[in-house]
Structure 1
Amino acid sequence: MALTERPGMAPLFLVSMATVGFEIALTRYFAVAKWSEYGYWVISIVLAGFALSGVVMALARDWFARHGTALLTVLPVLLIAAAAVGYHFVTTNPFNPLQLQNQATFGPQLYNIAGYYICLLPFFFLSGLYISLCFVLNDTQIGRVYGFDLTGAGLGALLALGLMTVVHPFQLLPCLLVPLFAAALFARRRRLAVGLAALVALAGGQALLLLGDAASFNDYKAIYAPLHVPDSRTVAEIRSPRGLYMLLDDFTERVDTDVSNNAGLLGLPGPPTSFGLYRDGNRLASLPRPGPVDAGYAAATLAALPYTLRPHPRVLLAGASGGFRIAEAQALGAASVDALEPEPVLRGALRQGLGESPPVTAGGTVRILAESPIAAVRASGPYDLIDISADFLDAAEANTSAFATEAIASYMKALTPGGIVSLPASIREFPAYAIRVLATARAALLQAGITDPAAHVLVYRSAWNVRILLSNTPFDAARIAAAKSFCDERSFDISYFAGIDVAAARANIYNDLPAVSFEEGEVTSGEGAHDAIADEAKPVLLGQSTESARAFDLSPITYDRPSFYAVLRLSQLGTILQRLELLPQAEIGPLVNLAVLAQAAMVALLVLAVPLLGGRRMRAGGPGVLRAILYFSALGLGFLFLEIFLIERASFYLNDRTSGFSLVLTGMLIFSGLGSMMEPRFKADPRRGIVIAVAVILAWGVLLLVGLQDFMLATLGLPWLARAAIVVALVAPASLALGLPFPLGLGRMGSGGFLPWAWGLNGAFSVVSTPLANLMALQLGYDRVLLAAMLLYVTCILAFPRLRKST
């Protein structure tokens, strides 16, 4: 079909920008108002909408081509309306994740999730239709179209992230309607009428979103109760791509630490009142009120024992807990404190204060540093005590790497003789978390050259938390006796030391901790006092199997498999679904990935069926259809596999998930867009282009598999800007190559129904790729995800589509 009028690229650029911006705005809404894991489930409809648009376009390609210019004129106006109305109904949806985890109440929540799909699918379907139509109407300029699509998406991500610094997360979408309005102004037909319609849609959408704003914190979020107690007030608020930070002043806020019930008998005060700092509605830390910090309670805390065993230590403190842990360390006699606070807002509160909370007095024996513990021990060791705060793990996603086998081994090598590493673990929900930290500690001690790990470990606990102490010299009788005395005075329990008699120790347990069977959902121990940690500590340290290991994945945490909370065995999915009400929020992620994968598989099957549904013209492709299925499916999987691998590695390197995500996402989109614009250079010999692109990707992948981890560790001490530049430099060459295979393959599909079908096929398998890659990383590690991506691109060479005539 000859087309006399081809659309310009500026509207496509703006539509792509707004689409990715809307996706990120939805991510922020769910992270603040609900839980981010469920937001990921709902937002998976984005690429599903793209895939479905490709199906519709493929089945009715001729009609869309005949009316293409008119549709491109009207679609931006419809997109404004669909975005505004869809987001409004998202914010009014009464979805409650806690009820979804209860078999008696989950039914209505499935309807609420379906409601999210109904609200969001129109926008992303229309957006996919717009982009797909641009490919059809510009079938001789595929590389150029794809380049504007990707670069627009990359800058849309940057725009959304930049807006988060000034705009409340609930108000992001009104700003993102403006690029759609601008796209409508580029209409080639009836410009005045379309402009007026777009203006009316924009004004109506803004009025609906700003005047009918129903977004708020759900009542199960940690911030909800303190935000609504009498006289509660917000004394500071920070808007950032990392989250919405709110500092609350109310009578419920106190220092969040594990203090002995015997503090009064010891003549020690209780923790003082404080401000409460929340991020996205979740409690992050306590911040001190004006005036001197009274840390007299420090000697009654669970974390105080190492300071008794190693008097006047030089301390590396990972996580300052708003400054209270620094005051505690000083009160316990620390000779010096290097306090690490990688979380930028917490670090800013320590250095400059936040709202009415004053800064921490540093200087002299106290340094406040931005490094991760891994970088700090390489730069500033040795230390007498490396103390990780109980809230450090949850302060930032990237902090999970501090609990990896390789990290703990590096801590052991940075200790002075007789030094101690103090690791926290919570037993509020699953004692298995503490057992997994023990298994990781054993692997780390072996890696550090200690042949008898069991002699170098001491474990003690309260009712809610465990401390695992590791030393580079065995814990001798004197230190064990001192630990027993410390715990007896504070009603803490010792769960393990070399030579412990577990049966005899049960007679003097202060905090009963019976074993719980996850399979049966009930306590399995008999009468009397119990210590489930003591029952399994020795076998774990000896490398033996335990009851928990049969129910949970207790494999050591590593840089390649850093997920701390992923202890559920997905092979026992039936049992997990029966015990949904017992699952902590942190364990929901893998189940959400499974749900998204199931949904994505159904969408992919629908797209795969298009050649069967599209009549004789589509079925005539024969073996060429099979090659196209392999090619575009592999592209959809491979691109996202590489993106997820790079985001994880960049997050580790920058010690910040948000920065890693931002740099990798925008870098890959923009450089891939630039790479796709090189497609005309290979029109004469497209197979040569795909071979060159895949060769670059494979060589780059091999270099990363062989040397990336060592390179990152060797350069962790560089300034953040230098490391960020290195991330961009690592992303750029592969991304340029990644931009070529899709337009090269799409150019072989002709201008008939196969072209939008291939577009939809790529979108459908992009939906599959994200949950599949996440699950692979949990089970096999991120290096296997990279290796799988490389194999997928090899498949692209073998399945490169044969030339198809235009229809």
Structure 2
Amino acid sequence: MDDEKQTSELPHRSGSEVPVLSALGFLSAAVTAQQIALMQVLGWMHWHHFAYMIVAIALLGFGVAGTVLALTREHLQRAWRSLLPWLALGTAIAMPLGVRLAQHEALAVDLPLVFLNPPNAWRLVALCLLLLPPFFCGGLATGLVLTAQARRAGLFYSASLAGAGAGGLAGLALVASVVPARLPAAVAALALASAACLWREVASKARIAIVVTAVAVAAAWLAPGELRPSQFKPIRRALDLPEARVVAARPGLHGWVQVVDAPALRAAPAVSLEFAGEIPGQRAVFVNGLGHGSLLTPDAIRSPAWLDYTTDAVAFVATKPRHVLLLENGPGGWVALAVRRSALRVTVVEPNRSLVERLTEGDAPLAPEWRLPAVNCVVAGGRAYLRRTHEAFDVIRFPSVGALGGTAGLAAASEQFLLTREAFVDAWQRLTPGGVIAVTAWMDFPERNPLRLLATLAEALEAVGAPPRAHLVAARGWATVTFLARRAAGPGGPAWNPADATAIRTFCLERGFDPLLLPELQAPEREAHHAWQNPGFFRLVDALVDGPRESVYREHAFMLRPATDDRPYFSQFLRWGAWKRLHEVFGARAMPFFELGSLVVALTFVILAILAVVGVILPLARLGWHGPGKAGVLLYFGGLGAGFMCVEIGLMLRAQAWLGSPVVAAAVVVTGLLLASGLGSLWSERLPANRSTAWRLVAVIAGVVLIASFELDVVGPAARAWPALVQIGFVLAVVAPIGTAMGMAFPLGLRRLEATAPTHVAWAWAVNGCVSVATPAGAMLLAMSAGFGALFAAGAAAYALALVGAWLGGARDA
């Protein structure tokens, strides 16, 4: 055995290391870039929830590879040199092939149908299995090299992490420039390059395979096939209209921008039933298949009469604005309405650069309202702009909340940083005297969106010393309610004077709306035009405005407590303990209240946790259940895996709050973390691989994680006002020490195991990978229920377990 092992190892520090190190780097880059690419692909086909599932699938592939490696260690390690190019080629082929097969009618999955018709759950499993092979092949190749070269694990692990970090940048560049259908083939070229690095060392059969694979990857690029979005996505319904067609498209970091034209397309969100005019045809804008506004013709911009018959127009009734701010509203006539209502300047804030450029470029722009002389388009996140600007505004309009008919809870796991209590406080600071914050919510039943929005506004007003009852008014139509929070025009003066109240009453009367909140409001006025099916709704409105609110928060069937920057899940209303109550009240109709977004994350966690346990236990059938060191290995390497993922997810969510895009945040954090971990791994070769070093290092990591959490809490709010490049630099500065320390612990443990218990090395790789599998989904559940700060605490706790493992023997001296 020792002779075989010696012949499989590369000569120390010789030139023969270079091809393997290069191949490992390219392969790791491909695997990381594939994760980012699949986030974009599945985000367009389905919803953003698959982003976290992709991370879990990737880790599952590594975990399964570790389990296979632990079960067949001797056989695979003897042939690791010859297997490496074949595994790289398998990764390259599986990348586009898995996505293509997932589109097949017999295998395609539609997320809502999985829950509406549970027997379809096998399709979700099939999707995971189809996307798993490239991560399995990449993980097996990496594991083979690390276990075969365990004595120099730091060197090879650093090459893997450096490649993975570079893959994050490559994935970001590809997502920004390549249409989703071609992304898997583009990433496959990186895996192909990994095999090509070994060209001089492989036999003729492998060289032929490399050439054939190159032809296949080129064919996948030239003929990528069509990606079909879910039938429940708005773009699918728009394209089903007669003569519908996509007239413009552009990839981007925030998603695939598409413009659809059809003669029947009209956009009139909750227009009053009193409107008797004509609504002009409009093109529809979609980002990753979700509606993001509509495009008005020049004639419609000059006379957007139908918008005067929406509850949104109430913002301009008692205010004659000179400067209006539209925060992430998208196109759709809001500029035209502001200009029609006497605005001299309109600032449009939109984080999606690709969208802004595509809609405003050329002599005949697709969105001519954004090219009006009064308009200034700013590419930035809404929260970042509120913190960064020094201008004051007469009207600040937030994006609408919810959708007609509801969203079936698909937004429950979405971070919505513009709908937190702190966001409205930031907006309040940017109002002129007499200025108004305007935000519209779609009415749902049972009422959730309007009630939580009202609670958020009320708490934000109290935070700035403004009594909610004196500063809030609201108007309700047949489908929407618009809330206005107004700053008093002068010290000690009323926010809403009798003339304002009269103007709003007249507006509601003429357009068929009902005042919901207004000075001197009489109860019958609230249902003058539109009776509401739940009389208790109005009692809840008054309770949330006047307080105390704690009893409402505690007793209501849904979560109404305002979202915060630490827990920005505005659309997460479900209380896990309320399932039985909802089922008793609504029976089979309760399914829409179960929030598919939350259920996807929870179901993913349960499934992957079971698979992780199986992956950890299965190798013990061969290694034996008893014997020294197993508890230490489990705690040490399991703690490292769980801790790393908790911290990574926490950093990604924090960075998303500043950078605006989950894809950009993921790429920046993953790239920085992996590059820093690579440096740490390389540095670890200089440290003695003994128990004392291991537990001290893990203790340092736990401390650094807690310090970083404190640092982010203190500096985070101010970071929103910084330029994007400074924000990225700050993220990398926070990530660097954490990643460097975390990157040292894993190869250090492998080196110690190689010296004390070599048969446990492959199992340690499996434990680390399998525990990491379930952690992302578990981390998301923790963030949704306890906030981002809890992720760093959980990460520190996991490293504390690793510390116990190091002390027990996971990395002890012989």
Q: Same fold (TM over 0.5)?
A: yes
Pick the aligned partner of 1:387 from 375, 384, 397: 397
Give the corresponding residue for 2:13. Answer: none
Most deviating of 764-773 and 599-608: 599-608
2:529 matched to 1:510? yes
The 1:213/1:580 distance shift into structure 2, 3 A limit, reads farther
Alignment correspondent of 1:519? none
In structure 2, distance between residues paired with 1:45 and 1:296: 48
Pair 1:126 & 2:132 matched:
no
Which residue of 6, 9, 12 maps to 1:6?
A: 9
1:187, distance to aligned residue in structure 2 (A) = 5.7
Distance in 1, matches of 2:663 and 2:54, equals 20
* Equivalence map 1:715-794=2 (5 Å): 715-750=719-754, 752-794=758-800
Alignment equivalent of 2:75, drawn from 57, 63, 87: 63
Match of 2:707 in 1: 702
Change (3 A) 1:399 1:352: farther
- Shift of the alpha carbon at 1:150? 1.5
Select which of 796, 800, 806 maps to 1:800.
806
Distance (Å, rounded) in 2 between the aligned partners of 1:648 and 1:201:
37
What is the match of residue 569 of structure 2?
563
Give the gaps of 5 or more residues in structure 1: 516-529
Q: Decide which of 603, 615, 631 is 2:611's aligned counterpart.
A: 603
Query: Aligned AA for 1:5?
Result: S
Greater shift in the superposed pair: 369-378 or 774-783? 369-378
CA contact (8 A) 1:51 1:603 kept: no
In structure 2, C-alpha distance between the alignment counterparts of 1:569 and 1:654, rounded to whole Å: 30
User: Which of 422, 425, 429 is residue 406 of structure 1 equivalent to?
Assistant: 422
1:377 deviates by 4.4
SS, match of residue 678 in structure 1: helix
What root-mean-square deviation, in Å, do the aligned CA atoms of Structure 1 and Structure 2 show? Answer: 3.2
How far, CA to CA, are the matches of 2:165 and 2:774 in structure 1? Answer: 21
* Aligned AA (2:758): G
For residue 740 of structure 1, report the CA deviation from its aligned partner.
1.0
Contact 2:384/2:658 (<8 A) preserved: no
Q: What amino acid maps onto 2:244 in structure 1?
A: S
1:53 to 1:580, Cα distance in 2 relative to 1, 3 A: farther
Q: Does residue 1:336 correspond to 2:345, yes or no?
A: yes
Deviations 1:562-620 (A, max 9, x none): 1121111123355678978766699322211111111121122213324641244x632
Q: Distance in 2 between matches of 1:608 and 1:472?
A: 59
Partner Cα separation in structure 1 for residue 657 and residue 372 of structure 2: 29
Runs of 4+ in 1 over 6 A off after TM superposition: 391-394, 396-399, 575-581, 803-807
Provide TM-score, normalisation by structure 2: 0.88
| Structure 1 residues 188 and 64, CA gap change in structure 2 (3 angstroms) | farther
Change (3 A) 1:367 1:280: closer
- Between 1:581-590 and 1:214-223, the stretch displaced more is 581-590
Describe the shift of the 1:355–1:9 C-alpha distance in structure 2 as closer, same or farther (beyond 3 A): farther
Q: Which moved more, 1:55-64 or 1:30-39?
A: 30-39
Specify whether residues 177 and 657 from structure 1 end up closer, same or farther in structure 2 by C-alpha distance, changes over 3 A only: closer
* Residue pair 1:149, 1:673 contacting (<8 A) in 2 also: yes
C-alpha separation in 2, matches of 1:336 and 1:430: 39
Question: Structure 1 residues 359 and 718 mapped into 2: Cα distance closer, same or farther (>3 Å)?
Answer: farther
Q: Which residue of 2 aligns with 1:524?
A: none
Q: Secondary structure at the match of 1:614?
A: helix
Alignment CA distance shift 1:592-1:576 (3 Å) = farther
C-alpha distance 798-499 of structure 1, shift in aligned 2 (>3 A): farther
Q: Distance in 2 between matches of 1:238 and 1:9?
A: 36
Partner residue in 2 for 1:258:
270
After superposition, the C-alpha distances for 1:165-217 in whole angstroms (9 at most, x for unaligned) are 33221122222322333333306754322110232244346547865835323
Q: Is the 8 A contact 2:250 2:258 kept in 1?
A: yes
User: 1:266-323: CA deviations, max 9, x gaps?
Assistant: xxx4443222111122211112335672244143221111211122453333235326
Alignment counterpart, residue 307 of structure 1, candidates 316, 331, 352: 316
Taking a change above 3 Å as real, the CA distance of residues 143 and 638 of structure 1, as seen in their structure-2 partners, is same
Structure 1 residues 383 and 213: alpha-carbon distance in aligned structure 2, compared to 1, 3 A threshold = closer
2:647 is the alignment partner of 1:635: no
Residue 214 to residue 337, structure 1, CA distance change in 2 (3 Å): closer
Matches within 5 A, 1:286-435: 286-289=294-297, 293-297=301-305, 298-322=307-331, 324-349=333-358, 351-352=360-361, 356-360=365-369, 365-378=374-387, 379-390=389-400, 400-428=416-444, 431-435=447-451
* Structure 2 counterparts to residues 45-64 of structure 1, below 5 A: 45-64=57-76
| Structure 1 position 692, deviation (Å) | 4.5
Q: CA deviation at 1:381?
A: 4.0
1:691 equivalent in alignment to 2:703: no
Shift of 1:654: 2.2
Structure 2: gaps spanning 5 or more residues: 11-19, 489-494
Moved more, 658-667 or 570-579: 570-579
Alpha-carbon distance change, 270 to 786 in structure 1, aligned in 2, over 3 angstroms? farther
| Residues 218 and 708 of structure 1: CA distance in aligned 2, closer, same or farther (over 3 Å) | closer
Amino acid of the structure 1 residue aligned with 2:556: R
Q: CA deviation at 1:776?
A: 1.0
Question: Which residue identity does 1:563 align to in structure 2?
Answer: Y
Residues 757-776 of structure 1, C-alpha deviation per residue, up to 9 Å, x if partnerless?
Answer: 11111111211211111111
Question: 1:679, CA displacement in angstroms?
Answer: 0.8
Amino acid at match of 2:564: T
SS in 2 for 1:277: strand
Partner of residue 151 from structure 2, selected from 128, 135, 140 = 140
Tell me how far 1:780 sits from its aligned partner.
Answer: 0.8
Does residue 485 of the first structure (1) align with residue 495 of the second (2)?
no
Question: What is the alpha-carbon distance in structure 2 between the residues aligned to residue 654 and residue 9 of structure 1?
Answer: 33
Deviates more, 1:176-185 or 1:321-330: 176-185
Q: Distance in 2 between matches of 1:423 and 1:586?
A: 26
CA 1:194–1:362 in 2, change beyond 3 Å: closer, same or farther? closer
Shift of 1:137: 0.7
Query: Which of 769-778 and 741-750 deviates more?
Result: 741-750
Question: Which stretch of structure 1 is more off in the superposition, 669-678 or 35-44?
Answer: 35-44
Displacement of 1:15 in angstroms is 2.0
1:482 deviation in Å?
A: 2.5
Query: What is the aligned partner in structure 2 of residue 164 from structure 1?
Result: 175
SS of 1:65's equivalent in the other structure is helix
Q: Residues 689 and 811 of structure 2 are in contact (CA less than 8 Å); yes or no, is this contact kept in structure 1? A: no
For the residues of structure 1 that align with 2:310 and 2:708, how far apart are their CA atoms? 47
Does the C-alpha gap of structure 1 residues 499 and 780 become closer, same or farther in structure 2, counting only changes over 3 Å? farther
User: 285-294 vs 203-212, which deviates more?
Assistant: 203-212
Evaluate the alpha carbon distance shift between residue 572 and residue 614 of structure 1 in structure 2; reply closer, same or farther with a 3 A threshold: farther
Which of 270, 275, 289 pairs up with 1:281? 289
In the TM superposition, residue 424 of structure 1 has moved relative to its aligned partner by 1.8
Q: How big is the shift at 1:680?
A: 0.9
Does the 8 A contact of 2:88 with 2:194 survive in 1?
yes
For 1:246 and 1:581, locate their aligned partners in 2 and report how far apart those are by CA, in whole Å: 34
Deviation at 1:696, TM superposition (A): 5.7
Q: Of 473, 477, 480, which residue of structure 2 is paired with 1:462?
A: 477
Post-superposition offset of 1:392 = 11
CA distance in structure 1 between the aligned counterparts of 2:100 and 2:6, rounded to whole angstroms: 39
Secondary structure at 2:595 match in 1: helix
Distance 1:416 1:157, change over 3 A: closer
> 1-side partners of 2:30 and 2:386: how far apart?
44
| Cα distance in 2, alignment partners of residues 432 and 656 from structure 1 | 26
- How does the TM-score come out when normalised to structure 1? 0.88
Q: Is the 8 A contact 1:42 1:113 kept in 2?
A: no
Change (3 A) 1:413 1:86: closer
Aligned to 1:233: 245
1:442-495 Cα shifts (integer Å, max 9, x gaps)? 211111123x32332222222222211112345444433322221111111222
Cα 1:401–1:627 shift into 2, 3 Å: same
Q: 1:28 aligns with which of 29, 33, 40?
A: 40
1:689 and 1:740 in contact (8 A); partners too: no
1:648 maps to 2:683: no
Deviation at 1:356, TM superposition (A): 4.8
